[in-house]
Chains A and B, each alone.
Chain A
Amino acid sequence: MAIRSTDSIDGLTFSGEEATAFSATPSEIECEVIGLFDQFRNSLLRYALSFGLSVHDGEEVTQEVFLALFQHLRVGKSRHNLRAWIFRVAHNLALKQRQANQRLSGGRDSHEARAEKQPDLAPSPEEQVLSRQRQQHLMAVLQALPERDRCCLGLRLEGLRYREIAPVLGMSLGAVSISLTRSLARLMRANER
């Protein structure tokens, strides 16, 4: 394959690289974590909601991500590619939360649950009806994608590069590229209708 990768693909393995600010105090780390929270909170929350979680659960997942990040930095673990690390933790926590919700609701089919939780669009003027229908159609296509494709698209939409998406989802760079192309083809077909 000829996909470019300027960074190590296993950027999420924590061996080898140590924190540059190993002796940072808890309050310094706290400031850093809050800064990252401001930067990534909306992206992470959107990503968590794309798993069909409620806003409350999504917020909880987001909080847990940054608490985990705080501990991660406190014990001097790697700062390499923190964005990918943050999304990887969010991905795992969102999956866990969804499984817990499914258990509580008696194991309903995840598609069914997702369909129920499809986001409502805000009321729009009549002249925007067509545009709104198209948006709903695109979101329905998104929900119908296989989970891995949906996650891949969601992570790309939140600004992650292929080399960051690959370790979050445990895929190769080539598989990320194929997944995105496949999803885009479906969205294009939906857009044509």
Chain B
Amino acid sequence: MLDHWHPSDQELLLTADGELATHLAARIRSHLADCWDCRARMAEIEGTIGDFVHAHHQSFDSKLPPIAGARARLRTRLAESVRDSRPEGWFHRLFEPNARRFAYACAAAVILALGASAVYWQTVNHGFDVRVGMGLLPNRSLTPGATRPVAIGDLCSANHDQVVRSVSDTLQQRVFQEYGIRDKHIEKYEVDYLITPGLGGANDIKNLWPEPRYNTRWNSFVKDQLEDYLHQSVCGGKLSLATAQRDVAGDWISAYKKYFHTDEPLSRSSALDPSHSPGS
């Protein structure tokens, strides 16, 4: 039977590209089996991709010279590169890969030891949470979290990612300013909701903070997993909305560990795998 929901073009493209979480992809494929309108739209998308790929190849492929000449030139340049960089004497040997790797390892060990000591000292003497300093958790005074009045039925009438709205550029700029992050570093962060709109979070600066995208284990992608899980749990009646909001606003990393029974972030696919039941 047809429902009132139809996938967006973005969801259709994600499905075609095999980039959607398993359960959502299954839902969309099931919908496509029912809905001729959406199948026609999917065919249009695929058709445009086909036309574009064809046009692109037509435009560029005829310009590509045969590979043989380029390969021969690369071989010559590689041989020259080996000849020119052959190390001589003990000084050069210091920079050979094995020696350099050993030096890096020693330096890293010293830095880690110093870092661990500093964290321990800070934590013991000042109750300082180093995760705030690293940007993994928001600064409480700037981002305490804010909710909006909302009915659970409204939250659960759509998938979590459909409820999430993007943050306006102006608001993002204000958040970066508040946290003292300069322009050249902003691409390393995603301005994220502390309490996601899918859990009733407000589009308010008190509910937004710059979260590291990469280079940390506990990054924005990991938090997305927790949000997806909490949204499903609230909508499935397994968890109250207030508890979900409190957990994610309090310390989302601890909440993740609690709900997923792990001390390490799971891969995205295993966190969303329907057979994986973190709450059980």
| Interface residues of A, Cβ cutoff 8 Å to B | 1-7, 9-10, 13, 18, 22, 26, 30, 33-34, 37-38, 41-42, 45-46, 49-50, 55, 59, 62-63, 66-67, 70-71, 74-76, 119, 121-122, 134-136, 138-139, 142, 153, 156-157, 161-162, 167, 170, 172-173, 177-178, 180-181, 184-185, 187-188, 191
By the criterion CB–CB under 8 Å, are B60 and A59 in contact?
Answer: no
Residues of B contacting A55 in the complex (Cβ-Cβ under 8 angstroms) = 63-65
Residues of A contacting B58 in the complex (Cβ-Cβ under 8 angstroms) = 121-122, 135
Rounded to whole Å, the gap between the CB of A141 and the closest CB of chain B is 9
Give the top 3 A-B pairs by smallest Cβ distance, nearest first. A135-B55, A119-B59, A10-B214
Most chain B CB within a 10 A radius of its CB, from A10, A66, A156:
A10
Once bound together, how far apart are the Cα atoms of A74 and B59, in whole Å? 36
By the criterion CB–CB under 8 Å, are A162 and B82 in contact?
Answer: no
Residues of B contacting A67 in the complex (Cβ-Cβ under 8 angstroms) = 74, 77-78, 81
Residues of B contacting A4 in the complex (Cβ-Cβ under 8 angstroms) = 18-22, 268-269, 272
Contact with A along B143-175 (1 / 0, CB 8 A): 000000000000000011100100000000000
Rounded to whole Å, the gap between the CB of B206 and the closest CB of chain A is 23
By the criterion CB–CB under 8 Å, are B21 and A2 in contact?
Answer: yes
By the criterion CB–CB under 8 Å, are A177 and B60 in contact?
Answer: no
Residues of B contacting A74 in the complex (Cβ-Cβ under 8 angstroms) = 97
Residues of A contacting B44 in the complex (Cβ-Cβ under 8 angstroms) = 188
By the criterion CB–CB under 8 Å, are B101 and A76 in contact?
Answer: yes
By the criterion CB–CB under 8 Å, are A37 and B55 in contact?
Answer: no
| Interface residues of B, Cβ cutoff 8 Å to A | 8-10, 13-14, 17-22, 24, 44-45, 47-49, 51-56, 58-65, 67, 70-71, 73-75, 77-79, 81-82, 97-98, 100-101, 159-161, 164, 187, 190, 213-215, 219-221, 224, 228, 267-269, 272
By the criterion CB–CB under 8 Å, are B13 and A2 in contact?
Answer: no
By the criterion CB–CB under 8 Å, are B164 and A1 in contact?
Answer: yes
By the criterion CB–CB under 8 Å, are A162 and B19 in contact?
Answer: yes
Beyond A3-B20, A4-B21, 20 extra complex contacts between A and B, CB < 8 Å: A2-B24, A2-B161, A3-B268, A4-B19, A5-B221, A9-B213, A13-B215, A30-B82, A46-B64, A59-B70, A66-B74, A75-B100, A134-B51, A157-B52, A157-B56, A172-B220, A173-B221, A177-B10, A184-B13, A187-B51
Say whether, besides A70-B78, A191-B48, A135 and B54 are in contact (CB < 8 Å). yes
B74 CB contact (under 8 Å) in A3, A37, A161, A191: A37
| Nearest CB in chain A to that of B54: its residue | A135
Residues of A contacting B221 in the complex (Cβ-Cβ under 8 angstroms) = 5, 9, 173
By the criterion CB–CB under 8 Å, are A177 and B19 in contact?
Answer: yes
Residues of B contacting A33 in the complex (Cβ-Cβ under 8 angstroms) = 74, 78
Q: Can you report 11 residue pairs joining A to B where beta carbons are below 8 Å apart?
A: A3-B14, A3-B20, A5-B267, A37-B70, A55-B65, A63-B74, A66-B74, A135-B51, A138-B52, A156-B17, A187-B48
Residues of A contacting B224 in the complex (Cβ-Cβ under 8 angstroms) = 1
Once bound together, how far apart are the Cα atoms of A30 and B74, in whole Å? 10
By the criterion CB–CB under 8 Å, are A139 and B97 in contact?
Answer: no
Residues of A contacting B19 in the complex (Cβ-Cβ under 8 angstroms) = 3-4, 161-162, 173, 177
Most chain B CB within a 10 A radius of its CB, from A6, A22, A34, A46:
A46
Most chain B CB within a 10 A radius of its CB, from A1, A62, A177:
A1
Say whether, besides A66-B74, A172-B190, A181-B13, A2 and B228 are in contact (CB < 8 Å). yes
Say whether, besides A1-B161, A161-B19, A184-B49, A70 and B61 are in contact (CB < 8 Å). no
